[in-house]
Amino acid sequence: MSNETPAYGLWPLVVINAAVFIIFAFSFARPRTGRDWRSFGAFSAFLVALFTEMYGFPLTIYLLSGWLGSRYPGLDPFSHNAGHLWETLLGWEGDPHLNPLHLLSNVVIGGGFILLAAAWRVLYEAQRSHRLATTGPYAQVRHPQYLGFALIMIGFLLQWPTVLTLIMFPVLMTMYVRLARREEVEVLAAFGEVYARYAAATPALLPRFRGGRPKGLAATQRRPEGDHDRTSWPPDDGGPPGGAGAVGREQPEDVKEVVRP
């Protein structure tokens, strides 16, 4: 009789791990608008798919079991360690939780959560004071919360790649880019030239790591006065979006395009 703990079929662990990470991310992202909930829901689906394969049903391992068995004859493909596919494919030995990629993944995941938290604080204060968020993470990128979600997903792909999550990642990133573009139309409508200058000086998702904040924003980042007929502020939906700074609800007809991420 074997007393080994099964590597899969551990559905309570699926529920617990997914719930912990989703709640943790929720406490940082604080979704308020319908757009926020869509982006957060897609991120949550990624986590559920990940932990389902990590502890529940190893779909990727089943799909690759024939190839893994022939390529690595001594490997038990349904052991937990074999699920760390990068460890197997790179020929590393030992505890997969201590290999360089796994340690790097922990740093990337932690950095993603830290970025979410830092971005939320800046965005919340900007929304309260009716200003454009341009400090902290927003001084480096226009959509730091989407970047935070991306870092967390990349970290998990380094740690435990699966067919579903590898497919979901580019789909989710495409969705985030589209959401960012919609947000920028609204922010441009609310802040006009101030946001246009900020967008021209600040990349959307990949920071340039150049010192200083965008020029010309320090004294003019407040929403223009006398523009209340063009856009509602604060938004009636109860809070800022997940990516760009404080936004209005309506889009004026004269806004034809927005700076692309």
Contact residues for 150 (Cβ-Cβ < 8 A; gap 6+): 112, 173, 176, 205
Residue with the two structure tokens 């409508």: 189
String of DSSP letters for 202-225: S-SSS----SSPPTT-TTT-BPPT
User: What amino acid occupies position 30?
Assistant: R
Say if domain 11-201 classifies as CATH 2.40.50: no
Q: What is the distance between the alpha carbons of residues 188 and 178, in angstroms, rounded to a whole number? A: 16
For 6-58, the pLDDT digits (tens) are: 789 999 999 999 999 999 889 887 787 888 888 899 999 999 999 999 999 99
Instruction: Collapse the DSSP code of 234 into the 3-class scheme (helix H, G, I; strand E, B; otherwise coil) and give the result.
Output: coil
Nearest to 241 by CA among 150, 112, 119: 119
For 45-63, the pLDDT digits (tens) are: 999 999 999 999 999 999 9
Nearest to 158 by CA among 111, 109, 115: 109
In degrees rounded to 5, what are phi and psi of residue 192? 55, -130
Q: What is the distance between the alpha carbons of residues 175 and 170, in angstroms, rounded to a whole number? A: 9
Domain ranges of the chain: 11-201
Nearest to 130 by CA among 231, 242, 251: 231
pTM for this one?
Answer: 0.78
For 118-137, the pLDDT digits (tens) are: 998 998 888 888 888 999 99
Q: Render each residue's pLDDT in the chain as its tens digit; 261 residues.
A: 344 567 899 999 999 999 999 998 898 877 878 888 888 999 999 999 999 999 999 999 999 988 988 888 888 888 888 889 998 888 888 888 899 999 999 999 999 999 999 998 998 888 888 888 999 999 999 999 999 999 999 999 999 999 999 999 999 999 999 989 988 998 898 889 999 999 999 999 888 865 545 444 443 455 444 443 333 333 434 444 445 544 433 333 333 334 444
